[in-house]
Amino acid sequence: MARRLQNNVSESRMTLPAAAIYATLVWMAGGLVSDGLWMQFGCFAASTYLMVELNNANALIRVYSRMVSCAFIALSCAAAFLFTSAGGAAMELFAIAAYAALFRSYQDRQAAGLTFYAFMSISTGSLFYAEMLYFAPVLWLLMAAFVRSASLRTVAASVLGLCLPYWLAAAIALYTGHLPMLADHLGQLAATGPLCDFSLLSANQVATMAFVMAMAATGIIHYRRQSINDKIRTRMFYSCFITMDIASAALAILQPQHYELALRMMIINTSPLIAHFITLTNTKVTNVAFCAIVVAILALTAFNLWMPSTNF
């Protein structure tokens, strides 16, 4: 079968360096130097590196490809209005770190240390965005259903991992006299807004979320049809991405005030799914779809750079 543009791009060793240069240019256009977004950019670079390692360590694509990290770069740059959010960038980094630790515990019910690190990452991320803790029960579900590492030992480790960052934060807050601020931070977990109130979002935020959801749906449908070709271990990990993607989309739809958290989580989980679609399909229709996706991402990136959201 003849190779198509999508396959040449997805399997090229030059794709990731080209994507890195593209990301740097987009960040410069988005205020990297003028607004001093160096910490946010550093978190983005570290997140991209972790996505590379997540792909390498778990063979998410069964052929040589850097498309998982490239998809993460492209989708992140498309949401250029998120660049200014330092807390969101840190939260995203810890979310990917949680995956890296959790996946290493696959089928190991004695992996208390790795489970501890995974949930500690989620908890540390929640120090920047309290609602990150909403995803802790989903991680327990993933441990039991897909990662298959759930046991009394690992569940206990996960609880300790969730508690440790807040034990430390409470000690610091008590010493500095800011304990009420920590209580207010955790109180955000109980604060809910009107259901499906999309008036909170700007036009470019709605367009960006709609595009990422379309990419997620494309990736999920493709993977459900083609998953038989992957190893069982890989299928379990993609089931984790799909479950978390659906949970993030539900959060975005039901509680749009948590848009940033939901969008960042969807970008993380959609990247492997759409990368699998681009790399492992080879038809005229999917090649046209790949070209359309690239054009849409470029257009959306330009639109969000031209009309940045003021919500973050």
Q: What is the pLDDT of residues 98-123, one digit of tens each?
A: 999 999 999 999 999 999 999 999 99
Q: Can you read off the two tokens belonging to residue 181?
A: 């601020």
Nearest to 133 by CA among 105, 98, 82: 98
Q: What's residue 109's pLDDT?
A: 95
- Cα 58 from chain centroid (whole Å): 16
Which is more confident, 96 or 195? 96
What are the φ and ψ backbone dihedral angles of 187, each rounded to 5 degrees? -65, -20
Tell me the pLDDT band of 191, cut-offs 50, 70 and 90. Answer: confident
pLDDT of 2 higher than 70? no
Please give the average per-residue pLDDT across 132-146, as a whole number.
96
The residue type found at 161 is G
Q: What's residue 246's pLDDT?
A: 97
Q: Is the Cβ–Cβ distance between 259 and 265 less than 8 Å?
A: no
Tell me the pLDDT band of 1, cut-offs 50, 70 and 90. Answer: very low
Distances (CA, A) of 157 to 115, 142, 153: 6, 15, 6
Q: What's residue 312's pLDDT?
A: 53
pLDDT of 3 higher than 80? no
Tell me the pLDDT band of 162, cut-offs 50, 70 and 90. Answer: very high
Mean pLDDT rounded to a whole number for the chain? 94
Distances (CA, A) of 243 to 120, 148, 207, 270: 21, 15, 23, 11
Nearest to 57 by CA among 105, 113, 120: 105
- Look at the block and give the residue holding tokens 């993460």: 72
| Cα first-last separation, the chain | 47
d(CA 269, CA 68): 10
Q: pTM for this one?
A: 0.95
Lowest mean pLDDT among 95-109, 143-157, 195-209, 245-259: 195-209
Q: Give the three-state DSSP class for 312.
A: coil
The residue type found at 148 is R
Lowest mean pLDDT among 206-215, 222-231, 288-297: 222-231
User: What's the chain's Rg over C-alpha atoms?
Assistant: 19
